[in-house]
Homo-oligomer: A and B are copies of this chain.
Amino acid sequence: MRTYAVAIVGATGAVGGEMIEILEQRNFPVQELRLLASERSAGQTLSYQGNDITVQRLTDESFEDVDLGLFSPGASVSKRFAPVAVRTGVVVIDNTSAFRMEPNVPLVVPEVNPDFLESHQGIIANPNCSTIQMVVALKPIHDAVTIKRIVVSTYQAVSGTGKEAIQELEMQTRNIFTQRDLVCQVYPHQIAFNCLPHIDMFLENGYTKEEIKLVNETRKILDDDSIRITATTVRVPVFYSHSESVNIETEQHITPDEVRELLANAPGVKVIDDPAHNQYPLATEASGEDDTFVGRIRQDDSIDNGINMWIVADNLRKGAALNAVQIAEKMIDMGLL
């Protein structure tokens, strides 16, 4: 069996750490693992399969003999170094927003649009966390009854922002309980015991970039620009896993039972929908899991063909690192790597 030299760019970040863990858990055919990060983090050692690996500083020379690059640094770093890696012959799976909307870069969720991979030109983009879990759950429904419109409100974990945000929520919470002053460095306002309707930058039209990502990326992945989408993205004081309240309007009628049956047979989806026994998807229970969890599936009687649902997934795993590794696995299956 062929093995691959894999470089992880942004290895010391929240998603980088998950990438290492997931390669290990899934026995990805790693021949050599190269861990790359900024100068600040270089020199740290991280463990992979019981071996300590020293993190190297990312440079133009970092990609020699590398087959696969899993990128999760900032978007500007990806923009700078992904083309360098591609010129060295590396296939780059990039978790940042740098290339997602470029027409010649496939934006892929393996359960949804693996065929997009065939046209890749070196860079494959990993979608935004909040988009991935939504399209995994909606794709089977779109195929069956054609989704016309989506209204989504999110409940997003701080780990989506990165390690510093996890620390900020933790410190703020401790400081509230010990009556010390709160420090807000990562977020502009207190996140502990609060909800911030603000993820990523604000744009001219009043939407955040995160909200626009949900719109544009969903359309690109489902390959259907006719789907109308509106989003409100909100940061909540949760460490891991994003939850989403999703309302859809479909062309043809579909019942909650039919949705449950469709999703029960869908790849990467697990239906947890037994309200009588208080069973519904929860961030705490999705954390560390690979599936996207769907529940609270109800008929929306305010329109003719409407469904409400609650979608939860581990934002660092399916929302980032796992999806990237699954793309690589799919490319191996398809003979593209």
Contact = CB atoms under 8 A, between A and B. Distances in A.
Given A198-B280, A230-B306, A207 B298 contact: yes
A243 interface: yes
The DSSP consensus for interface residues of chain A is mixed
B195 A236 contact: yes
Interface centre among A189, A230, A281 (most CB of B within 10 A): A230
A263 to B, nearest CB: 15
| Highest count of chain B CB atoms <10 Å: which of A188, A207, A245 | A245
Interface string A160-184: 0000000000100110010000000
A113 to B, nearest CB: 22
A153 B310 CA distance: 11
Contact of A295 (B197, B237, B243, B310): B197
B303 A256 contact: no
A190 B285 CA distance: 10
Contacts of A194: 238, 282-284
Given A153-B245, A155-B195, A193-B238, 6 more contacts: A155-B236, A195-B243, A197-B245, A197-B295, A206-B296, A228-B301
